[in-house]
Chain A
Amino acid sequence: MYSDELEKLFARRGITPGDRVKVAVNGMTFEGILMPRPEFGDNGTLVLKLPNGYNVGMHLGKRPRLEKINGKRAKFEFPKAKLERKEGLPDVTIIATGGTIGAKVDYETGGVHWLLDPEELLYTVPELKGIANYRVVNLMSIGSEDMMYRDWQEIAKTAAKELSRSRGVVITTGTDTMHYTSAALSFMLRGINGPVVITGSQRSSDRGSSDAFMNLACAARIAANANVAEVGVCMHATSSDTSCNFIRGTKVRKMHTTRRDAFRPIDSPTIANVTREGEITYTDEQRVRIKDDGRELHMLKGYEPRVALLKFYPNADPEIIDHYLEKKYRGLIIEGTGMGHVAVSPHDAKYSWLSHIKRAVDSGMIVGITSQTINGRVNPNVYTNGRLILGAGAIYCEDMLPEVALVKLGVLLGNHRRQEAAQLLTRNIAGEISERSEVGLQL
């Protein structure tokens, strides 16, 4: 929005952003399109798009000379490509949920809008042609941070339904919370019978260099051709547009704010690598689940949202646990230091977490311990601290990622009784816990 003064002036002249206008500034007259005010900067500065395509900001001065002129309003029409069925190709459903991958720039505002029409998508990513026959479900269009557990449930439900008709499912979503979503789907979808491939992009698809194109094409390859029954994330393997990794949904984490290859397997090899040309290589055939536990595909419907993730740090006040207890939280995952530690005997006893953890557990809360080192396994037996924390009733979560443990606890508490949930927390359900800590994995 522009300043009140300018908005009033526009109203008087019957002008709205997007109109062609004539402005006189410093004795020079400009014609161009009035642009909406960018979020930042001085809202008293008018932004005009000149005929050469450049935007400039100008002050109108005390006696503004601004008028609307006739001419077409700038309008954005996105080109489309036709969706055609081709016999002999597998069926793949693309479920769009939002995020950068579905974003296009609104050329009027410079803001980001969602690319929802499947035909627009196919136009933007012609590589998708020839891999599969697509169904596109526009489920939602929300950014990473706005994603809630109900959205995970909605996505899981849709994926389960689509897996009954398609060979595989591709889910496009925002990258910032992608590893939470992948964990949620890993736990919610049981007896999975095909690939559920989550993908996104670190660079919006309105730019020619976007990673969206290859990510989406590789994800479609996995969904159409890979012999796996897993929930996983498919994103750039390196900075180059040469191949993508398909990483297990419970062993993946966004490890960089902006790089294309931000999604890394943690304490685990990737499941597969798929090249731009479509060649799939499996890292470890043994590891790939072709079909889950023989049961029919079903969905765990419940989720307990009163679970929290808490990071320990020097000087951290344990009263925060009491707060969660008061708010009737049923589960807490603590990101401890090193092998899973929190303060137990500081100079100031007020800062010992021990009694607070004990009280929480005694009141029925499940307290899980993970590590902020991200890589490696927690172990309560090496230091006294750990033994005391274990003694207070906390559960050590093996080599589970903190975010994965959080989501798992939510799913467990939403579908099982407390006792059962506590037991299942340290039992491997969807590849989130490995029995062996393998040699040779990269940090």
Chain B
Amino acid sequence: MLDKGDYRKLGFKCGLEVHQRLATQTKLFCGCDAQLPNDVSVAEVERRQRAVAGELGSIDQSAAFETSKDRKFVYNAFAKTTCLVELDEEPPHALNREALDIAMQIVASLRARAPDELEVMRKEVVDGSDTSGFQRTMLVGYDGSIETAGRRIGIPTVFLEEESAGIEYNDSGVAVYNLDRLGVPLMEIDTNPDLETPEEAKAAAAALGLMLRLTGRVQRGIGSIRQDVNVSIREGARVEIKGFQDLDTMDTVIANEVERQLRLVEIRNELAKRKAKVHAAHADVTSVFGETKARIVAKSIMGDGIVMAARLEGFVGVLGREVNAGRRLGSEISDYAKFAGLGGIIHSDEDLPGYGFSEREIGTLRNLLGLGPSDAFIMVTGERGACARAIDAACARAAQALEGVPKETRGVDQKTLVTTFLRPLPGGERMYPETDVRPMAIDAGMLELAKSKAVDAESVSRRLRKAIGNRQLEEQMLWSQHLGRFLEIVEKTGADGSVVAATLLEKVTQLRRSGVNVGAIGDDAMLKVFAEYGKSSIAKAAIEEILKREPKNGADVERIIKSERLERLKGRELELAIKEAGDGGEREDRLRRIMSKHRLNIDGDELRAMLK
């Protein structure tokens, strides 16, 4: 394992982009439900998209790449969560004030500053994940920071934007998206690219996640928060890693990416020494394989496919070099061919007889391509057009090996925790103003309100420690959806924090499982229950008895206490109860006798103390 000093020597650069969905009633630019209920699909539309000239005239590289695939996009529209805005059939409505309010709370929590006026922008996207071909986004904060593991991490920019559509199905010809998610308010928080180690990146992601959750106004559950990591080393290149499903493995994935970049730099140096070259020209070599026993190729040719191959001068042995455990330079090149729509490549560093190729076929192919002993080849098979695109893409990737590490967006292989190619890294030049939405002024009042609601993860942790005093419960509460409610109850009622925490975290769940409609219990009722408990009007055991009856408000709670005779026995009443039980037998027997009769009205600890 590398340490901090090693990473510094490598010129390790790392920054985070955290994306978090907000828990607003409606979407960012329309009145559709933003809570993503299980909605009914009501319509399906089919669209095409293309790269259009970007802001400075040139077409964005990743945009052009998507268009070259000539893909069809199918969108499922839903009853409550989609309208004509998501279908790109109506201009956006006004900006959602609730979303802006939460965004400002987050900006304040990051001690960032807000612009005086928000300008909504269109950021071009052409993977089809947005029906309009762009994502609406705006810069809402700058110059912030967050505390993590003793270091203050800079937050240069905070954005409020539209969530993209969720992908349902994807192949080389068509992508199917669900529009229910499209347009849900999404925050993007970027850190400075100066995270010092993979571990620090993980800690920063955790700190941001906690802060967001503590606002109590962000969506929870799978996919509602996503972390992208930008990583490079001095001699490598910026790679954006997307699709972390688990914060726990983030550091491992980053470390593996650093390893990959290191290996690619070594490969570059080796190829330079050999004066290696990639020849753009490639040949149709189908005739070589007329009788082949290699099943992949035979099957493809039977289905009217062809075989194309290209010469990689000086590459012998290099294609088979590992870049990560189980992945070789050949795998990297293969990913590009896959992206262009084929199954992958076959290359000369592989076990070719294992595929079923004969010595003679390989010899003929090498002759045909004019290969010398230090040269390698790559080969693709499939439909003619796809072959041409795939071999072009593969050659382009092979040529990048001469330069080192290509700039890419990469995904995470969840099993092996290494990164794999998704698409080229989008360049700049792809933003322009959203002219359908007016600029919006941020006034002092809005900022003051946001500051008053700012959350501070450190202080919340302190409050939990003070109120609960049990590490496990504190930790559970910190990550719980009940946190906001807990803090309010403890503050307003003075009830014992550990009892409140145990009730919210454990009792309520038990009640739900036993069929109680806990959703019907009002916030007001919950406050009243703990207020009664806090001033010793009811015993601990009575809390569950009251909640079982689903009180809607404080008056319900009072009624239930009366009708169920749940008042706590104190003073003379308690003494009377003890007397009634007689003083025969051991202390424990007496205790049991009394409790079996007055379980709901006497606090066990208090009784125990009195029986001493």
Listed in ascending order, the chain A residues whose CB lies under 8 Å from chain B are 26, 28, 35, 38, 40-42, 45, 47, 50, 52-59, 74-79, 104-105, 107, 110-112, 123-124, 202-203, 205-210, 213-214, 238-242, 257-260, 276
Contact = CB atoms under 8 A, between A and B. Distances in A.
Nearest to B59: A79
Given A41-B439, A45-B116, A57-B116, A258 B48 contact: no
B240 to A, nearest CB: 14
Interface string B112-128: 01011111011110100
B432 A110 contact: yes
Interface string B133-173: 11001110011000000000000010100000000000000
Given A38-B439, A124-B52, A240 B139 contact: no
B438 interface: yes
A207 B55 contact: no
B438 A239 contact: no
Question: Interface size class for chain B?
Answer: 35 or more
B89 interface: yes
B328 to A, nearest CB: 36
Given A52-B157, A209-B133, A259-B90, 6 more contacts: A107-B55, A124-B53, A208-B126, A242-B46, A258-B89, A258-B90
B45 A54 contact: no
Contact of B117 (A41, A78, A107, A241): A41
A382 to B, nearest CB: 38
B24 interface: no
A124 B67 CA distance: 12
B117 A259 contact: no
B108 to A, nearest CB: 15
B520 to A, nearest CB: 42
Given A208-B49, A258-B84, A57 B56 contact: no
A286 to B, nearest CB: 31
Q: What is the interface of chain A mostly: helix, strand, loop, or mixed?
A: loop
A410 B81 CA distance: 47
Given A38-B439, A56-B139, A242-B46, A107 B432 contact: yes
A58 B117 contact: yes
In order of increasing CB-CB distance, the 4 nearest A-B pairs are A57-B117, A208-B133, A53-B431, A110-B433
A374 B543 CA distance: 67
B58 A239 contact: no
B435 A58 contact: no
Contacts of A47: 117, 119, 439
Contacts of B51: 208
Contacts of A209: 47, 49, 88, 131-133
A277 to B, nearest CB: 12
Nearest to A126: B50
Contact of A214 (B48, B55, B58, B441): B48
A254 B124 CA distance: 29
B189 interface: no
Contacts of A54: 119, 121, 137-139, 157, 159, 431
Nearest to B123: A53
B23 interface: no
Given A53-B430, A58-B115, A241-B48, A207 B435 contact: no
Contacts of A242: 46
A54 B143 CA distance: 15
